[in-house]
Amino acid sequence: MKAAVVTEWGQTPRYTEFPEPQPGDGTVVATVEASALTNLTKALISGKHYASGELTLPAVAGVDGVARLEDGRRVYTGAVAPYGMMAERTLISTHAMLELPDGLDAVTAAAVPNPGMSAWAALQHAAAVAPGDHVLVLGATGVTGSLAVQLAKSVFGAGRVIVTGRDVARLRWLRTVGADEAMDLRDPEVHARIGALHAERPFDAVLDYLWGAPAASTLTALAAGHPAAHYHRTRFVQIGAMAGPAIELPAAILRGTGITMSGVGIGSVPPDVLARIRSEALPRLFDMVATGTIDLRTRTRPLAEVTDAWAAAEPSGTRVVLTP
């Protein structure tokens, strides 16, 4: 069968032959319909992701997606390694699939889970956003950040949502879907403004998709704007590292403020929380995207173009979904 095959860490997958999967104990072969090209998929194959060690090569790329079982049911699922979801067929565990409703197209169903469940876990579990909370989102212009912005008020009742990003058109659009203020990260005044907003009414939660310099400057600004005589807990949630894998964090920032830090990713969300998000939130997210209540832009490309799609720059906030 044809698949997006990886033979060396860091190599862009190639559309080529891979052995057909064979059913085993608790596993079945399914026909793939769609798989999203997420940052997680790319990072795992780079060999530098903290979960890359779970893979052995050669392997097929594609963390998750939509597949059709022999009996005709369509499911959202991951694959059993070395198989991945970027293939004509894959091997899936019968215990790890979610049946999809009729009428939900495969591309939407493949695109929603990674950013949707992550945004939900960040807002509900790690940041514990409650009605009236003030939320700051760093890197809100991306697929995942923009879902978090759209969910913050509509589902979790946030009182005020402030966002940062670089893509100006996308920042403007975010103002129409839940952001009260949208700031260009490249504006030299942006961190002074974050500090001033925090001094005026402290942020309750920060969702960070960037890390690197923007996160370091934001933490410094929050500390500078923190009302010294008044404790306020600000839950800083680390989710992505688009601007750099490491920061220097002065100890005084954590000792002198009410900032607490946690992450959302593989290993940082308790299994029972993840299971609940998968069974309860994911069907809601599918419905919200399918009905247009929230917006997730996709671009469908043939799996045969995987090598090109891997490296191509897409407009901010667009998720590429590959279909065999």
Among 84, 142, 195, 324, binds ligand NAP (CB under 6 A): 142
**With contact defined as beta carbons under 8 Å apart, do 138 and 210 qualify?**
yes
CA distance 57 to 82: 7
Q: Is 41 helix (H, G, I), strand (E, B) or coil?
A: helix
111: nearest Cα among 241, 278, 299, 277: 299
Site string for ligand NAP, 220-239 (x = CB under 6 A): -------------------x
**With contact defined as beta carbons under 8 Å apart, do 235 and 156 qualify?**
no
**Cis bond before residue 58 (omega within 30° of 0):** yes
CA distance 164 to 117: 21
* Beta carbon nearer to ligand NAP, 2 or 297: 297
* Beta carbon nearer to ligand NAP, 84 or 115: 115
**With contact defined as beta carbons under 8 Å apart, do 161 and 154 qualify?**
no
Alpha-carbon distance values, 62 to 145, 154, 176, 324 (Å): 21, 31, 33, 12
Least distance between ligand NAP and beta carbon 161 (Å): 15
Q: How many residues sit in the footprint of ligand NAP (CB under 6 A)?
A: 28
Least distance between ligand NAP and beta carbon 141 (Å): 3
- Considering the rule CB under 6 A, would residue 183 count as an interface residue with ligand NAP? no
Least distance between ligand NAP and beta carbon 61 (Å): 15
Among 27, 35, 39, 323, binds ligand NAP (CB under 6 A): 39
Least distance between ligand NAP and beta carbon 171 (Å): 7
Among 165, 178, 195, 324, binds ligand NAP (CB under 6 A): 165
Written as six digits, the tokens of 261 are: 């830090």
| Residue ranges that bind ligand NAP, judged by CB under 6 A | 39-40, 114-115, 118, 139, 141-145, 165-167, 170, 185, 209-210, 214, 239-243, 264-265, 316-317
